Amino acid sequence: MVPYLLILLAALLWALIGAFTAGILATGVGAMEIAFWRALLGGALFVAHGLLAGHLQLHRRRDAGFFAIFGVVGVTLFFSAYNLAIEAGGISLAVVLLYTAPAFVVVLARIFLKEKFTAPKVLAVFLVLAGVSLVAFGGDSEGVTVSVASVGWGLCAGVGYASFYVVGKKLLVNYHPVAVYAYVLPVGALGMLPFVEFRPKTATAWLLLALLIVFSTYLAYLVYYLGLRRAEASRAVLVASTEPVIAAALAALFFGERFGIWGAVGAAMVVMASVIGVFSVRRRKRSSQ
């Protein structure tokens, strides 16, 4: 029970990203600057943890290239695109589009790894396409702005998140999670730096940034992997997939965001596709061992 409670805690902490980000945006801080500080200071916490625990050794020099790729795609692209999606369209739309990631994994594995499409994979891709279409064109949404920018950045966030299944998983086989994030978060922050416009920040902005960094970045990743070590993978995926549901509920409660009926159906289809897509990836890994 404890491992699943840790994973549920991580999902709750990740679901708070949208609320923290929206609150910081309201103070006048830009989406890119929020992503930059989250990556830089979150990385600093992991570096400090890694130094104290002795987890920062680089086992092979060639792994530095994988850390760099993961830093650019999994942090620079993912963090910035997710924040820009929230800024452009709202929390609910951004978090739903984020969960297109496993379908991107299915498609990319077919293109680059020549993996066959299976029935579950095809179903996951179909559900994502149909779900995103319903979310985008369902109408009657309240507090949700559907536009080329909001949908585009949301899908880019999904691509960035997909790198956690592709590059990130490869690194986590050989490295402690603390070491992975100690390397990739600062690299990701460096990738954002040329695009950041720094602005004066209020005490409220700094407080919300601190909450985002400590709870929804450092602590969330830490408790998730602590739970995942002792949890059954398939059940862990189901528990973690509560994130978009929690995030949408918080957005409705605090920011008045609500999908119309067709948008809600589409969002449910994307979450369902996420679970199916992750299951198909895990089955592929087990069959290849």
Reported pTM: 0.88
d(CA 96, CA 144): 12
Residue type, 133: S
Pull the structure tokens for residue 77.
Answer: 């692209």
Residues 11-50 pLDDT 10s: 999 999 999 999 999 999 999 999 999 999 999 999 999 9
Q: Average pLDDT for residues 253-273, to the nearest whole number? A: 89
Q: pLDDT-based confidence at 51, cuts 50/70/90?
A: very high
Residues 116-155 pLDDT 10s: 778 887 888 888 889 888 887 776 678 899 999 999 999 9
Compute φ and ψ for 5, nearest 5 degrees: -65, -35
> Which of these, 140, 138, 156, 159, lies nearest to 148 by C-alpha position?
156
Residues 144-163 pLDDT 10s: 999 999 999 999 999 999 88
Share of the chain above pLDDT 70, in %: 89
Residue 269 has pLDDT above 50, yes or no: yes
Residue 139: how many other CB atoms lie within 10 Å:
12
Q: Which residue has the tokens 């086989």?
A: 173
pLDDT averaged over every residue in the chain: 87
From the number of C-beta atoms within 10 Å of its C-beta (0-12, 13-18, 19+), residue 68 rates as middle
CA 115 to chain centre: 24
Q: pLDDT-based confidence at 237, cuts 50/70/90?
A: low
Contact 92, 71 (CB under 8 A): no
d(CA 154, CA 133): 13
Q: pLDDT-based confidence at 76, cuts 50/70/90?
A: very high
Q: pLDDT-based confidence at 61, cuts 50/70/90?
A: confident
Share of the chain above pLDDT 90, in %: 53
CB within 8 A of 47, min separation 6: which ones? Answer: 56, 182, 186
Pull the structure tokens for residue 207.
Answer: 């407080």
Count Cα neighbours of 124 within 13 Å in the Cβ-side half-sphere. Answer: 24
Q: What's the confidence (pLDDT) of residue 287?
A: 45
Q: Average pLDDT for residues 94-102, to the nearest whole number? A: 88
d(CA 192, CA 41): 13
Q: Average pLDDT for residues 192-203, to the nearest whole number? A: 97
